[in-house]
Structure 1
Amino acid sequence: MPLPPAGYQAPPKPGVIPLRPLGLGEILDGAFQACRRNPLATFGTAILLQAVVALVTVLLFGNLLSSFEVFDSPNPSTDSLIGAFASLGVFASVAGVVTAVALLVLQGILVIPIARAVINQKTGFGQAWRLARGRILPLLGFGLLSFGLGTVGLALLVGISALAIAGLQEYSALLIIPLAIGAVVLMIWVSMKLVVAPAALMLEGTGPWTSIRRSWSLTRGNWWRTFGIVLLTSIIVSVIASVISTPLTFAVSLFLGFSTDASTAPDALDSLPVIAATQAITALFTAIGYAFQAGVTSLLYVDLRIRREGFDVVLMREHERAGTVPSDILPGGTGAFGHQPGGPA
């Protein structure tokens, strides 16, 4: 291993990462270390939000199972069938909205303890929520804006497809298939361009639209690197969560299945204990995975600002000013020693 040149001085590392452009391993390790140092603010917040999602899912699924009992009758009425499919639509819509909101809020709140860990500041559960509460509404506004833009894009895709079917008929697939593939590619590209927008919104105090522009600017020239890190993190989290949670879920389902009275007729609602238990296990490991992913995204934001704006100098100054005394400092723009983008470093 070659020795560093004479006079070389290692970059400072006040917190979980060295203050210089980061490598993949440093981002992954820094996210894990930040979560480990602030377990209640990171894992606790993630588990709380996932518990809400799991509870809503179980309650909605219980109602859905009751509605689907109509299929057990020999001659179900049309109104009963419509009601069953309406319940399915409500379940999918409400569960999807609750999950999306929980993930967005989680990603936004966890930016705070992760960023503070960069300058060696610990964050408690209540402190994280207190520092984030003033930014929750703008964060939800960002979510609504993103949803609106996505809805407009989907409407355009559906409209063009309908016109193609009407005009080209049997040849419409020649236009619709490439169009659908292009739409998926565009969605992935835009998602990566906006991946650090919640971090910018939470730390810099920007509005929804400004945070989109900030993310767009920060990821310029780093799209493939950002995509690779996000994709690799998602794969790692999915594999680990599946390997751990699948055997536990199977064991719980088997245990509860043997615990039920086999002499009674099976009823849809009898499966609710199994559903609740499996949802609890899934929510636990999903929450841990989401916390780690949010940590990676937060450090990716810090890394991009270091590369484009010399943010490492600002972070070092904020660490020195904060000292070892616990404070409410938010690195990035809204804290007592925060750096406004474009301002003097």
Structure 2
Amino acid sequence: MLLTSCDSTRTITESFLPRSQASFHLTGVALVAIIMGFVHFFLVAIITNLIHGAVSIGVTQGALGRKPTLARIWQLLRPRFWTLILWTILMSAVGTAVVLIALSPLALLVLSTRTSGHETVLAIGGAVLLWAVLLPLAVLTIVWLGIKLIFVTPAIVIENLGLGEALSRSWKLTHGHFWRILGAVLLFVLIISTAAVVLLIPLSFSFAFGGSLLHFAGLGFILTNSCTAIFTAAVTVLLLVLSSIFYTVIYFDVRVRKEGLDRELIHFTANYPGETDPQSAPNPYRSPAT
């Protein structure tokens, strides 16, 4: 369908514009679509990091016996807001660079459309060969960096570190625990994916059945799409919260194993009551190096 739409757009454009202008117009449309895609990706990344940071603060405050109200969470998150934005920009830039490198064989495919015969075969063969090498490397790079930098957000919002310190901190915390963290993440993704599928199948049938009942009134399409959009948004937020809790629990586990954080928290809660104002008490989660 997408290819048919693109062909139709090209045919309509070329019928009204000269060939050079039509090519320029299509290039501009493609550029706008790519820019909008990057903007959407960046906004989603910002929201994800903010939710991750807020949930991390809520979990850590609850572990100290403090009630994690929205006001308290925002009070602790606000000073770290721009650091989180900077981390999102860096993460998006690195991810985009890896994806662009993985998609670089497209240049050879474009070149193949401007050649013929033996040169076309060489260009297509070169593109396929590059993809066979670059695509696995891109996936492995993203997975490796994702695990090594999995604790950057908790380090920023919980330990109050700057971006450079948080990057170094996450790198050190994951040292020696890479495969265990990767296994836990894969298991979590498998469980969540299975639960989502089990939940989505009956709900999809329910939406379709409800929509067919109201089809005669002209409301079936509207009802089905509205319910689907609301349910998708709710599931997305739920998954973000659950994943944030999961990553925070892993952060706790690694720090307990490597730094004895549990003993530090027991000592802290014995000296500071649960409802002590976080601003008037030391940060028990601070990095041992600070």
The TM-score range, normalised by the shorter chain, is 0.7 to 0.9
Check the 8 A contact 2:83/2:163 in 1, yes or no: yes
Whole-Å Cα distance in 2 between the matches of residues 189 and 205 of structure 1? 25
Q: Are 1:248 and 2:203 an aligned pair? A: yes
Q: Are 1:202 and 2:152 an aligned pair? A: no
Helix, strand or coil at the partner of 1:248: helix
Whole-Å Cα distance in 2 between the matches of residues 155 and 190 of structure 1? 16
Q: CA deviation at 1:147?
A: 1.3
Check the 8 A contact 1:245/1:281 in 2, yes or no: no
Whole-Å Cα distance in 2 between the matches of residues 140 and 335 of structure 1? 27
* CA shift in 2, pair 1:95/1:273, >3 Å: farther
* CA shift in 2, pair 1:96/1:337, >3 Å: closer
Please give the per-residue CA displacement for 1:137-187, whole angstroms capped at 9, x wherever unaligned: 111110101112223334444557758989964552334312221221111
Whole-Å Cα distance in 2 between the matches of residues 302 and 273 of structure 1? 43
Letter of the aligned partner of 1:111 in structure 2? S
Check the 8 A contact 1:245/1:285 in 2, yes or no: no
Q: CA deviation at 1:117?
A: 2.4
Which residue pairs with 2:21 in the alignment? none
Helix, strand or coil at the partner of 1:214: helix
Which residue pairs with 2:261 in the alignment? 311
Q: TM-score if structure 2 supplies the norm length?
A: 0.75
Q: 5 Å matches for 1:229-240?
A: 229-240=184-195
Q: CA deviation at 1:307?
A: 1.8
Whole-Å Cα distance in 1 between the matches of residues 125 and 13 of structure 2? 39
Q: 5 Å matches for 1:64-213?
A: 92-159=37-104, 162=107, 169=123, 171-172=125-126, 173-213=128-168
Letter of the aligned partner of 2:56 in structure 1? V
Could you tell me which runs of 5 or more consecutive residues in structure 1 were left unpaired when the two chains were aligned.
1-67
Where is the helix percentage greater, Structure 1 or Structure 2? 2
Check the 8 A contact 2:76/2:157 in 1, yes or no: no
* CA shift in 2, pair 1:149/1:92, >3 Å: closer
Residue of structure 2 aligned with 1:336, choices 275, 282, 286: 282
Check the 8 A contact 2:42/2:88 in 1, yes or no: no
Check the 8 A contact 2:173/2:254 in 1, yes or no: yes
* CA RMSD after TM alignment: 3.7
Please give the per-residue CA displacement for 1:51-104, whole angstroms capped at 9, x wherever unaligned: xxxxxxxxxxxxxxxxx8xx8x9x95568x969978865764454333222211
